[in-house]
Amino acid sequence: MNPGDRNPEQVAVLAPLGRDAELICRVLGEDLIDATSCPDLPGLLPLLASSAVAVVTEESLQTADISGLVAKIEAQPPWSDYPFILLTLRGGGQDRNPAAIRHMRALGNVTFLERPFHPMTLVSLVRTALASRRRQYQARDRLAALEASRAELARSDDRLKFALQAGRLGAWELDLVRMELNTSDQAKVNFGVSPEADLTYSGLMQLIHPRDRARVTEAVQVSIDSRADYEIEYRVLTGAGETRWVELRGRASYDGDQPIRMVGVSLDVTQRKFAEERQHLLIRELHHRVKNTLSTVQAIVGSTARGATTIDDFYRDFTGRIMSLANTHSILTEELWQRASLHDLLSKELDLYDDGHARVRVSGPEVELPSDYAVPLGMAFHELATNAAKYGALSNGEGHVDVTWSVDPDGDAKRLHLSWIEAGGPPVATPQRQGFGTRLLERVLTAQVKAEIGTDYDPGGLKLSMTFALPDPGRPTTPGLAP
């Protein structure tokens, strides 16, 4: 009963007695209808798959086992109702020909033709049955197309669901007549609510940041009035007190001029918005830092020039100070210009002089300094290390430098106490003129870091103490992100 790619138009003839089969095939052939006869009922069964109509004489079924034929008919697909034309010996009702009635019930789609009959009557019945069978083929094709369409729709729906899930896109639909909101689970998550929660339109408006609500309402109205796509980004406040950014895109549909619904997608863009804001802040901070660095370089040029007696002295001192500034900036940029370790600042300047004989000893608890403290302190350590290498404990093979610090509580704040002690070098004397290092310690550190500086030019080695209040660890070195 599965006709395959080509729709059968052949007529199967079962008339095993006499010349009936020959006559039927000839009559149909004269009207250009293809007909094939079979010798018995078992021979008819395979022809059902390659024929469209069967012409059967009543006597061929009277003593035959028709269970196989009945099974074939019952196994037909839903679209099929195979037609039979049954040639009877005599007419009348059920009481006169009960066998014909039984055959009709067994075969299903049966048309009776009483013998003798006019040849054109047979041709007309066969053509009517063929036309009916063609309509069944058409119904089969429509059902197949419908199933294929449903399967493609299901696949398309699966692809859409996968794309939405992969992109963390939430689907939403707003009934503009009743103002009823339907959202997917991901859309609810994007808005900061549980997937099991009942999110209504009024409930969504309550989630939107108060400063954004008017803008959201206006954007919806503009999109509807102008028939343009709805695109907006706004903040929502979650039940946990978290602020999120959500991007929505949608489009309204209309019944004539009446807007009836708006459908679209939502996406949580919190990380992107914060990254953009962070980038803008870093750019502004970079501009600020470049200006400060140029000002620092300008001050170094002036101070170095005033203290130098030769071009070579100027080049050497200036290069060293610029390298110190670069080292400090390197530490800061590794931490995105936030904080620098006090130990790292000292190591950058003193590790060069540590020859493995404990000539440089640095110890103290871990202290993180913001950038506006790290830059002047890094340069101060450079000046101290340079002076020690030129005139002090690191200028010979015997001296050493000990740098220690501690952190003590000072009310709600903390104070850092740092000691720089040199020993074993040439005798020390109070300098006759004020150099760059002295000016840096006395002016910059006292002004910018609010440090208290103590300097002792002990003949046995320079001793320097430095005390200042540590800034609050939570104090940002750049403006924080707006909530």
How many whole angstroms separate alpha carbon 92 and alpha carbon 15? 22
On whether the pTM is more than 0.95, the answer is no
Task: Summarize pLDDT for 127-161 with one digit per residue, the tens.
Answer: 999 999 999 999 999 988 988 888 888 777 777 66
Arithmetic mean of pLDDT, 164-192: 86
- Cα dist from 415 to 21, 83, 347, whole Å: 119, 104, 21
Tell me which long-range contacts 127-130 makes (C-beta under 8 A, separation of at least 24).
127/31, 127/33, 129/52, 129/53, 129/83, 129/85, 130/9, 130/11, 130/33, 130/52, 130/53
pLDDT reading at 452 higher than 80: yes
When mean pLDDT is compared over 132-146, 402-416, 422-436, the highest value belongs to 132-146
Buried b (16+ CB within 10 A) or exposed e, 34-55: ebebbeebeebeebbeebbbbb
Residue 166, classed as helix, strand or coil, is helix
Task: Calculate the average pLDDT of the chain.
Answer: 82
Return the structure tokens found at 32: 């250009």
pLDDT reading at 483 higher than 50: no
Q: What is the CA radius of gyration of the chain?
A: 49
pLDDT reading at 311 higher than 90: no
Residue 285 burial (CB count, 10 A): 16
* pLDDT band, very low/low/confident/very high, at 303 (cuts 50, 70, 90): low
List, in sequence order, every residue forming a beta bridge with 363; answer none if it has no partner. 404
Structural contact between residues 241 and 206, judged by C-beta atoms closer than 8 angstroms = no
* pLDDT band, very low/low/confident/very high, at 304 (cuts 50, 70, 90): low
Return the structure tokens found at 426: 């040439």
How many whole angstroms separate alpha carbon 183 and alpha carbon 171? 6
Q: Does a cis peptide bond (omega within 30 degrees of 0) precede residue 116?
A: yes
pLDDT reading at 287 higher than 80: no
Output the CA angle 201-202-206, nearest 5 degrees: 115
Task: Summarize pLDDT for 34-85 with one digit per residue, the tens.
Answer: 999 999 999 999 999 999 999 999 888 887 888 888 899 999 998 999 999 9
Output the CA angle 128-131-136, nearest 5 degrees: 130
Specify the range with the lowest mean pLDDT, choosing from 193-197, 254-258, 283-287.
Answer: 283-287
pLDDT reading at 482 higher than 50: no
Question: Residue 409 contacts by C-beta under 8 Å, 6 or more apart in sequence?
Answer: 415
pLDDT at 407: 93
Task: Summarize pLDDT for 82-127 with one digit per residue, the tens.
Answer: 999 999 876 544 455 666 677 777 888 999 898 888 999 999 999 9
* pLDDT band, very low/low/confident/very high, at 464 (cuts 50, 70, 90): very high
Q: Where are the beta strands (DSSP E) in 143-229?
A: 169-175, 180-183
Buried b (16+ CB within 10 A) or exposed e, 425-444: beebeeeeeeebbbebbeeb
Arithmetic mean of pLDDT, 225-236: 93
Structural contact between residues 455 and 445, judged by C-beta atoms closer than 8 angstroms = no
Per-residue 3-state assignment (H helix, E strand, C coil) for 309-358: CCHHHHHHHHHHHHHHHHHHHHHHHHCCCCEEEHHHHHHHHHHHHCCCCC
